Structure 1
Amino acid sequence: MPQFDADRDAVVARARAAGVETMLVVGGVDAEGGHRRAVAVAEERGLPASAGVHPHEARLATTATYDELRGLARDRRIVAIGEIGLDFHYDHSPRDVQRDVFRAQVRLARDVGLPVIVHTREADHETAALLEEEGAREVGGVIHCFTGGPDLARRALALGFYVSFSGIVAFPRSETIQEVARTVPLDRLLVETDSPFLAPPPHRGKRNEPAFVVEVARKVAALREIPLDEVGRASAANFRALFRAAAIP
């Protein structure tokens, strides 16, 4: 997001100071070269990146988009295809288009051998079914910013996927998500911010940023009744295992 260019380095510095080991720069389709910009930001700061067509922008996908993704997959900074998936809450793209673009990108991920970062909202059954049908187990991935229930978590884990929790896990009335956070195996759990959105307490109302992931980890640790650093170590190890980030200097 170019509107955050002015203080991007300060944001990264605050994350490092908070103990955040690494961050993923998520690229997307837009009028300003989102994928290319994400790779540039990642390269400048020594971070991994991903590339994919978010369900909101599925209507913009063309043959050229998929060609671009295949080319980007050869860049050492690109460690995943995503965000991809289904969003039946906002429906910014027609649902049949979302399904087609999601399916095409899972197939592309299998072709290039990269894991997928999956966004799903009010489409959990269809999301899980498509991942199962398309053999997503072959490359693995993560259900990011998890807002589903036990069934989605069970199906994701059966595919060898990870489950990632954002600041939503600390929101009031998130009991179902909190229960999943208690029970997901620690070696399949990730914490994230989904910056600049969804800042966790006590930062609600502010622009979210990677440093705030500590509060997400703190909430997950409290739910599981384990030390904060245990969640941090597990999430960092799982991140490296999923995204091959250990290869990024």
Structure 2
Amino acid sequence: MKIFDSHFHYYGETAPQEFYHTVLAELEVPPQSDAGRVERIFVNAVGGDYLESCRAREFAQVVKEAFFSVGVHPHQADEFLAAPQEFGEFRGHEKLVAIGELGLDYYYEQSDREAQKQVFRRFLDLALEWGLPAIVHIRDKEEADAAYSDAYELLAPFAQAGGKFVVHCFAGSVAWAEKFLALGAYLGVTGIVTFRRADNVRECLKAIPDDRLLIETDSPYLAPVPHRGSDNHPGYLILVAARIAAERGRPVGEIAELTTRNAFAFFNRKEC
């Protein structure tokens, strides 16, 4: 069985090939799984600033099953505007599949909101210019939706111009899921779906069509139950697929297969 982690972060503590083989050695099979063992895992290493984008590229150059994306996380927006880095060196790389992650984070607000929007616009424009999909981060304060609303205002014209995007680690409402899906978005589901209090995420699963669903670890963050609180890695992705399968009443292998197919389609790559 194959599976595709559409969003993980590589911080370089371990050499790329060693990291990947460690992940393979620790791949999990959920109890009573119909899926059998995961034999091949594809990954997208995501950049949240220039240096992380360089590490993501390094990882993808070494690991056959890896791709990478480049961008500036909203936490880094102020820093990027103060000293913009040149991302043009990444253009045309054979393993580059997306721009991201980029977006708006009004939960921590480590960067000014206007700065976040400015950087978001700049990298959405870059995605259109380079002909790549965008990986979008949106996080709001509890019981608020300003980040979702502002992101929607920026993403609507992007989609109308032919841009393709995923809202990664989606944890919004069903209403927002439906609004983004209407723009043609994909939605990424993480280990949060296994958390006891994440009823909203499980409810959103009902709104996501099979062909718009991506799965991800967002590792090293958001380890799924029963590993919550520990470092996450792509080897735990099957636990995300298993919970989605349970919620949808489907075999785990089927969820792994369709989300792998979706990831290759989203990243405009031929499935291998």
Does the pair score TM above 0.5? yes
1:25 aligned to 2:35?
A: no
1:13 aligned to 2:24?
A: yes
1:60 aligned to 2:79?
A: yes
1:211 corresponds in structure 2 to 235
Structure 1 gap ranges (5+): none
TM-score, with length taken from structure 2 = 0.83
1:41 corresponds in structure 2 to 59
Q: State the AA in 2 paired with 1:2.
A: G
1:77 corresponds in structure 2 to 95
**Percent of aligned positions that are identical:** 36
* Closer, same or farther: CA 192–137 of 1 in aligned 2, 3 Å: farther
Matched-pair contact (CA < 8 Å) for 1:11–1:209: no
Cα distance per residue 1:40-85 (max 9 Å; x no partner): 11110021100000001111224974641x3312111110000000
- Per mean C-alpha deviation after superposition, the further-off stretch among 188-197 and 145-154 is 145-154
1:228 aligned to 2:249?
A: no
Cα distance per residue 1:20-54 (max 9 Å; x no partner): 53000112325xx2222211111100211000000
* Closer, same or farther: CA 71–63 of 1 in aligned 2, 3 Å: farther
The separation in 2 between residues aligned to 1:181 and 1:4, in whole angstroms, is: 34
Q: Determine which structure has the larger helix proportion and give its number.
A: 1
1:91 corresponds in structure 2 to 109
Cα distance per residue 1:166-197 (max 9 Å; x no partner): 00011111111101112310111111110000
Matched-pair contact (CA < 8 Å) for 2:99–2:133: yes
TM-score, with length taken from structure 1 = 0.91
Matched-pair contact (CA < 8 Å) for 1:118–1:143: yes
The separation in 2 between residues aligned to 1:223 and 1:62, in whole angstroms, is: 43
The separation in 2 between residues aligned to 1:120 and 1:191, in whole angstroms, is: 16
Q: State the AA in 2 paired with 1:244.
A: N
1:112 corresponds in structure 2 to 130
Q: SS at the partner of 2:58?
A: helix
Structure 2 gap ranges (5+): 1-10, 28-36, 141-146
Q: Determine which structure has the larger strand proportion and give its number.
A: 2
* Closer, same or farther: CA 171–20 of 1 in aligned 2, 3 Å: farther
- Per mean C-alpha deviation after superposition, the further-off stretch among 84-93 and 135-144 is 135-144
Aligned alpha-carbon RMSD (Å): 2.1
2:31 corresponds in structure 1 to none
Q: SS at the partner of 2:170?
A: coil
Matched-pair contact (CA < 8 Å) for 1:166–1:192: yes
1:242 corresponds in structure 2 to 266
Matched-pair contact (CA < 8 Å) for 1:81–1:116: yes
1:180 corresponds in structure 2 to 204
The separation in 1 between residues aligned to 2:131 and 2:219, in whole angstroms, is: 26
* Closer, same or farther: CA 233–14 of 1 in aligned 2, 3 Å: same
The separation in 2 between residues aligned to 1:73 and 1:143, in whole angstroms, is: 22
- Per mean C-alpha deviation after superposition, the further-off stretch among 148-157 and 214-223 is 148-157
